[in-house]
Amino acid sequence: MAAPTITDIRAYVLRGGGADYHDQDGPHWIDDHIATPMARYPGYRESRQSFGLNVLGTLVVVVEASDGSSGFAVTTGGEPAAWIVEKHLSRFVLGATVTDLSRIWDQMYSSTLFYGRKGLVLNAISGVDLALWDLLGHVRAEPVYAMIGGAVRDEQPCYATGARPDLAVEFGFLGGKLPLHHGPAEGADGFAANLRLLAEMRAATGPDAWLAYDCWMSLDADYAIRLAHAAAEHGLRWLEEPLPPDDYWGYAAVRKALPPGMLLTTGEHEATRWGFRLLAEMGCADILQPDVGWCGGLTELLRISALADAHGLLVVPHGSSVYSYHFAFGQHNSPFSEFLMMAPAADEVIPMFHPQLLGEPVPEHGRLRIGQLDAPGFGVTLDPGLALARPYRRE
């Protein structure tokens, strides 16, 4: 029996929290004086929204097949990514069979090399790719994890990212990853404040909980190394993304200079197997953290994971909810997952992409169970009450 063909692809945008989790309307821990590359300018220090971190919004990609099946995905990208999907990428999707994921990916990537390679274009490609995997799962009545080889474990332990690692431990998570609040521009006082918060959280979580610092590209190598050594007495498990993502040489130097037992992680803002090849071959990290909604989608993430495994590296995707859950359950080198605490005060466990997805699973006592992912595709639906806008239509 011939596979169905793809008959339609549409790109919508949404505002507010969800896939673009920085697009929060009110006070939220994720936008509370967090260290960034822009913090060197005092006027952009208090809020990441002040320099436009939430400017894009959510991209929603919907695909339909000739048998009546449909699939969708959400990622960050908003209106600019919607233009790319409708005006450029759609030509490689329409009329293709639902199983042609590798060919479609290669055509999308190759055709956009002259203005793409990373960033917004890869977000758009990722959104299309994830929607196609969701569609294929509905055509086959299978969950995505089953289509990529099946699960290698029945439960997936998680750590929590947010402002309250102490509460995360109470909820059953492995531990918590804190946002770093002060960077080099805030001098010795900021450095000391970073250490005080870490000490407080170590006292509150006990000696065995994982604690990590997310530095969000905000440091230089000297500051990162000094912070790592000062934080060692508080049992910091890893330092995450301390440098700009293109400074591969700096990452290699920082990793070599870390205290014994401390790990260096990065990759949230990297893309494609070629970007991660540099991280792996130059010895830039112990754990790679691609975001499946930004790095090229699931098709590319599987390639990145194989490359990492050959270099003895773990792959723990950045956030991305069900899209990373289905991936991680099937990979031996992804033994735990990140869960973003998206409650404004990080004081309760709510779905990561709330309120956009229905049926989105959350960890129970800090663990995901494979039975939570058994619905076809990625197992979620788009809330029909959302105010979707379609700013562009293909010609």
Give the residue numbers of the binding site for substrate: 22, 48, 338
> What contacts 23, CB < 8 A, 6 or more positions away?
15, 16, 17, 54, 57, 58
Amino acid identity at 31: D
Amino acid identity at 384: P
Task: Answer whether the bond into residue 80 is a cis peptide, omega within 30°.
Answer: no
Amino acid identity at 191: F
- Indicate which residues carry an active-site annotation: 318
The C-alpha atoms of residue 134 and residue 293 are separated, in whole angstroms, by: 13
How far from the centroid of its chain's Cα atoms is residue 344's Cα?
Answer: 19
Name the DSSP letter for residue 259. P
Binding-site positions for Mg(2+) read 214, 240, 268
Q: What angle do CA 178, 302, 16 make, to 5 degrees?
A: 45
Give just the sign of the alpha carbon dihedral 345, 15, 56, 114: positive
Only one residue has tokens 């359950």, namely: 329
Q: What angle do CA 187, 160, 12 make, to 5 degrees?
A: 95
- DSSP secondary structure of 1-36: -PPPBEEEEEEEEE-SSSSSTT--SS--GGGSS---
The C-alpha atoms of residue 206 and residue 224 are separated, in whole angstroms, by: 25
Q: What angle do CA 317, 318, 320 make, to 5 degrees?
A: 95
- State phi, psi for 98 to the nearest 5 degrees: -65, -15
Bridge partners (DSSP) of residue 6 are 65
Binding-site positions read 22, 48, 214, 240, 268, 338
